[in-house]
């Protein structure tokens, strides 16, 4: 059996991942993973924003019911953003 250690990856049918530096490839899936991470951060921020809005709504009571509606909508958007982020992250791996 031949020693294939000296053959380029293309000759052995192997794919090289990354640039040999140990860092992930900056290719499309690496970029998508970075986008997924950024969206995850936004989702967490939106969750905190919705929590703060809910607290403000409970403090304002009946004098400002629209704050509660805003809090619910922020929560819905944050939940959807988190779901899409999870799907994107799974698709990148």
pLDDT tens, residue by residue, 1-15: 445 454 444 444 444
Q: For residue 1, tell me if it sits in a domain.
A: no
Q: What is the pLDDT of residues 32-51, one digit of tens each?
A: 888 888 998 999 999 999 99
What is the mean pLDDT of the segment spanning 65-70?
88
The domain of 30 spans 26-92
Residue 88 within any structural domain of the chain: yes
Residue 50 lies in a domain: yes
In a domain, 68, yes or no: yes
Residue 20 belongs to a domain = no
Is pLDDT of 65 > 80? yes
Number of domains, the chain? 1
Give domain status of residue 15, yes or no. no
**pTM higher than the cut 0.85:** no
pLDDT at 18 over 60: no
- Three-state DSSP string of the chain: CCCCCCCCHHHHCCCCCCCCCCCCCCCHHHHHHHHHHHHHHHHHHHHHHHHHHHHHHHHHHHHCHHHHHHHHHHHHHHHHHHHHHHHHHHHHC
């Amino acid at each position: 059996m031949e020693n294939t250690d000296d053959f380029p990856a293309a000759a052995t049918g192997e794919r090289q991942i990354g640039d040999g530096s140990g860092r992930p490839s900056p290719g499309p899936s690496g970029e998508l993973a970075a986008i997924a991470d950024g969206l995850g951060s936004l989702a967490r921020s939106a969750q905190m924003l919705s929590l703060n809005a809910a607290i403000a709504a409970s403090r304002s009571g009946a004098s400002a019911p629209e704050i509660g509606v805003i809090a619910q909508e922020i929560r819905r958007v944050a939940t959807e953003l988190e779901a899409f982020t999870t799907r994107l992250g799974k698709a990148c791996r």
